Amino acid sequence: MTTRFLRRLPLRVAIAVLLVVEIYPLVWLLLGSFKTQNEFLSEPSWALPSQLNFGNYIEAWTQGNLAIYVRNSLLAVVPSLALIIALGVAAAFALEVLVWKGRQTVLLLFLAGIMVPWQMILLPLFTTYFELGLAGTLWPLIITYTATGLPLTVFMMATYFRSVPHEVFEAATLDGAGMLRAFWSVGFPMVRNAVFTVALVQFFFIWNDLLIALTFTISDDLRTVQAGLLSFTGEFGQTAYGPLFAAICTNVIGTLLLYLFLNQRVMKGLTAGSVKG
């Protein structure tokens, strides 16, 4: 018994160290978000906060404009997600289930979009949005997120449709339903789970995006959470620790909660989408 325990000891220690390294920075962050400026300056940073002080959060949300950033992020993410799913799932169905000449080529065309760095499209898009007078709105974000999300969505959904036996769709159309009906009432419900996984993956990509947000949000009241948080230190000056920690916490909490409840699905989805690198 004890020899077995001793033999496993190095392994246990290694795992404990691993977990501390992965988890403790976040605990440190959360504790920091409750501390007062005084506690930051006079006590070691591993000390516990003297009380649960939500003042930092209020300050970050109001004076730090975090409320506006969160609103902008939601306004950009939700329509983009809906469009990505609607367009991407239909396209994957047309490319994988329907049979027509040239579908292989179009599928490859979509896949190429996964590899191309987004730096290749930013400048023409910026020019176009500027000419169209969209530069002062959130539309550039919604349009760009939708288009950049499509390749991976089409790729992943095509994989899922491939695993559904095609006889199912043929049978559906024999009953007199057209191909569109077959997609809507048979195809879509059959991959509903996969659609949810893909939506989850795309949510993480869009919510966490910085490059596109930074390029197209030209004024402070258009900034998303990620772009806004970058300038957060500037607005308060380097030393306002509490509100900064509270703002980082707010940014982290959404994805963290999603992961807490849906971790197996998130793990499956993100690794399936790993082609994106």
- Contact flag: residue 49 with another protein (CB under 8 A): no
Nearest CA among 148, 240, 261, 138 for reference residue 196: 261
Q: Considering only residues 123, 132, 162, 163, which one is a binding residue for another protein as defined by CB under 8 A?
A: 123
Applying the rule CB under 8 A, the residues between 156 and 185 that interact with another protein are: 166, 169-170, 173-174, 178-180, 183
Question: Least distance from C-beta 228 to another protein, angstroms?
Answer: 9
Q: Considering only residues 138, 141, 143, 222, which one is a binding residue for another protein as defined by CB under 8 A?
A: 143
Question: Least distance from C-beta 62 to another protein, angstroms?
Answer: 20
Q: What distances in angstroms separate CA 9 from CA 17, 26, 175, one per listed residue?
A: 12, 26, 64
Q: Taking CB under 8 A as the rule, which mask of x and - marks residues 74-113 in contact with another protein?
A: ---------x---xx-xx-xxx-xxxx-----x--xx--x
Q: Considering only residues 56, 72, 215, 217, which one is a binding residue for another protein as defined by CB under 8 A?
A: 215
The residue (of 222 and 248) whose beta carbon lies closer to another protein is 248
Question: Least distance from C-beta 68 to another protein, angstroms?
Answer: 16
Q: Taking CB under 8 A as the rule, which mask of x and - marks residues 10-39 in contact with another protein?
A: -x--xx--xx-xxx-xx-xx--x-------
Q: Which stretch binds another protein (CB under 8 A): 50-58, 59-67, 116-124, 189-197?
A: 116-124
Burial 214-248 (b: 16+ CB within 10 A, else e): ebbbeeeebbbbbbbbeebeeebeeebbbbbbbbb
Nearest CA among 142, 158, 66, 161 for reference residue 107: 158
The residue (of 75 and 125) whose beta carbon lies closer to another protein is 125
What is residue 98's three-state secondary structure? Answer: coil
The residue (of 32 and 49) whose beta carbon lies closer to another protein is 32
Q: How many CB atoms lie within 10 A of CB 55?
A: 12
Placement of tokens 């760009």 in the chain: 144
Quote the CA–CA distance of 145 and 16 in Å, as a whole number: 40
Q: How many CB atoms lie within 10 A of CB 80?
A: 23
Question: Least distance from C-beta 51 to another protein, angstroms?
Answer: 21
| Three-class HEC string of 143-190 | HHHHHHHHHHHHHHHHHHHHCCCCHHHHHHHHCCCCHHHHHHHHHHHH
Applying the rule CB under 8 A, the residues between 185 and 214 that interact with another protein are: 204, 207-211, 214
